[in-house]
Chains A and B, each alone.
Chain A
Amino acid sequence: MNSKALWAVGMSSLLLVACGSLEERPEDVPVEERSIGAGDGVPADGVETGGAQLGGEFGASPLTDPASPLAKRVIYFAFDSSEVTPEGRDLISTHARYLAQHPEISVVLEGHADERGSREYNLALGERRAKAVERLMTLQGVASNQLQVISFGEERPVAFAHDDSAWQLNRRVELLYSGY
């Protein structure tokens, strides 16, 4: 699968996503909440209880809220591919929206690959995956200086077994918010 096809698919699916996100979705609420309320980087430790805030969520920053969709920070990929799946796209949009509204927040997109094949090629593949996520984010309004791309190839696996289940978990891009 080459990048041109990926690009086309990405673009057209983005179009679909854009069309499909006209209605409000419940997941978006905490983000808007946050813009009214507390500032960045305040760890949630239950100081502020949820009376004044809609949705009943606690924690000032959605980035520290384990129930927030922003808590999901990993996008997975198919073998030898940097094509973003629909689930991936959804997650990327979630984070993109957040970042677009918080230009002071930056994120590192860390690309990875599973252990099979060439290490160097996997290093490049990890970068390509992270760049795919970066592209989708910039298209959704995230400024490029908020995004940094790094690849670790297969050097930092999260699962160490030598089977499909482990490999699946290792083919990923992680979103690393600094300080979170």
Chain B
Amino acid sequence: MKALLLICLLWTTTAQARLSIEITQGMEGSMPIAVVPFGWSGPGVPAQDVAAIISADLARSGQFAPLDVARLPQHPVDGRDVNFNLWRGVGSDSLVIGRLELRDGRYQVQFQLFDTVRGVQLAGYTMQADATRLRRVAHQIADIIYQRLTGQRGAFDTHIAYVTVENVEAGKRRFRLEVADADGHNEQVILTSGQPLMSPTWAPDGRRLAYVSFEGGRSMIYLQDVASGKRQKVAEFAGINSAPDFSPDGLRLALTLSRDGNPEIYVIELGSGRQIRVTRHWGIDTEPVWAPDGRSLYFTSDRGGRPQIYRVQLDQGGRPTEEPRRVTFEGSYNASPALSADGKRLAMVHGDGNRFRIAVLELDSGVLRVLTDTRLDESPSFAPNGAMVLYATEVGDRGVLEAVSADGRARQRLGLTKGDVREPAWSPFFGE
């Protein structure tokens, strides 16, 4: 042992004989990356501009700054044509090139990712898709690039659900529940109503949505299959029926019912319709969200006077095992909990005085970080990789959706449709 120590000592002593400089500051910002338009050997233009989709995805994550296409020093399609010096010259650390081909009516997509600083290839794949799935392939390529360069799983090949409101005429509004790609493309309306819609939430399989609809004159919860549009009513008890959230196994729904006098948390088994009451308090208890292990629920409650977020443990059968415990202690108003997929971070609407902003609480350390600086933020929803939080806010006179990186550094607005957009819900990763 002593000999080992000795060796270490000797080794370290001989290792220091030169100028040593400490670097403690860097630039905060996005990684410069160049995405060269993919080569195309077919007639006309391909169904999608794959490079543009990739570029937009990476930019939207807030972690990349794609080079303007006009400034690209060359347009290589093959790895052998890449001149790394040129790319270093324009300050691009990474380079994406690719090629598109049409074979028997299907697209063959090939791409390569290079580290221009060190002059090495980091990834290279070939994928196939027909025209309708080409956008999706572009998102998947963006996911691969994101993962290689940041170490985190990409969430570009996902969907978002949200509610839009349009003024049709004086006193009359049209509400729509829509689903789109995470980049806002391929918007599809899955429900239109003359009455308000609220709180869409995804089932873990990404195929169903539960939501609150006032089409019956008051709040009721519906469950709808996204692909087929088939739906069923799952809660129309007296009083409020709202705030649905699917359990991680997709078999139960936590929700808020005021049938017993005031809003309380219940859990409904979707198969049998059996209900378990989880909270018993004269205060308002609402907005339940499941922890990833299905053994506890976070929810909003004003049992302490003003809305704060609490957590209640459940047993195997979904019954509470102890009194709920408070989880938020900073700020006079904390509501709308949203849990990251790993269960480690809680996003919420954090109010102080007149401002309502999105904040993220690290559950282990108790550190709360406010991510936004607008005033009327609501409905936070984590991306399934936990890297971004989608939420609704007011800009000018319009309701818009914005996405902020989980550390608050980068923020971007989603360019979606006309009217007000609200109540976003980010889908889980897709199984396929």
Contacts and interface: CB of A to CB of B under 8 A. Distances in A.
Q: Do A and B touch, yes or no (CB under 8 Å, in the complex)?
A: yes
Given A2-B283, A123-B198, A118 B378 contact: yes
Contacts of A102: none
B300 interface: yes
A155 B196 contact: yes
Contacts of B243: 120
Contacts of B263: 124, 127
Given A152-B196, A155-B196, A162-B376, A117 B335 contact: yes
A128 B284 contact: yes
A120 B256 contact: yes
**Residue among A153, A156, A160 with max Cβ neighbours from chain B (10 Å):** A153
A3 B302 CA distance: 10
B92 to A, nearest CB: 42
Contact of B286 (A1, A4, A80, A120): A120
B239 A116 contact: no
Interface in A124-180: 124-125, 127-128, 131, 149-153, 155-156, 160, 162
B178 interface: no
Contacts of B198: 119-120, 123, 153, 155
A119 B379 contact: yes
B242 A120 contact: yes
Contacts, number: 90
Interface in A64-96: 80
A17 to B, nearest CB: 24
A123 B335 CA distance: 13
B284 A119 contact: no
A119 B399 CA distance: 14
A121 B305 contact: no
Nearest to B299: A120
Interface in A18-42: none
Given A3-B283, A150-B217, A119 B240 contact: no
B239 A125 contact: no
A124 B284 CA distance: 7
B335 A118 contact: yes
Interface size class of B (residues with CB under 8 A): 35 or more
A41 to B, nearest CB: 21
A106 to B, nearest CB: 14
A121 B286 contact: yes
Contacts of B381: none
A121 B307 contact: yes
Nearest to A82: B284
Interface string B330-357: 0001011000000000000101001010
B394 A162 contact: yes
Contact of B218 (A124, A131, A150): A150
B393 to A, nearest CB: 11
A150 B199 CA distance: 18
A150 B240 CA distance: 8
B351 A120 contact: no
Contacts of B28: none
Nearest to B423: A119
Contacts of B286: 120-121, 123-124
A155 B300 contact: no
B282 interface: yes
Interface of B: 196, 198-199, 214, 217-219, 239-240, 242-243, 256, 258, 262-263, 282-284, 286-287, 300, 302, 305-307, 333, 335-336, 349, 351, 354, 356, 376, 378-379, 394, 397, 423
Interface of A: 1-4, 80, 115-121, 123-125, 127-128, 131, 149-153, 155-156, 160, 162
17 contacts: A3-B282, A80-B306, A116-B351, A119-B336, A120-B256, A120-B286, A120-B287, A123-B198, A123-B242, A124-B256, A125-B284, A127-B258, A131-B262, A150-B217, A153-B198, A155-B198, A162-B394
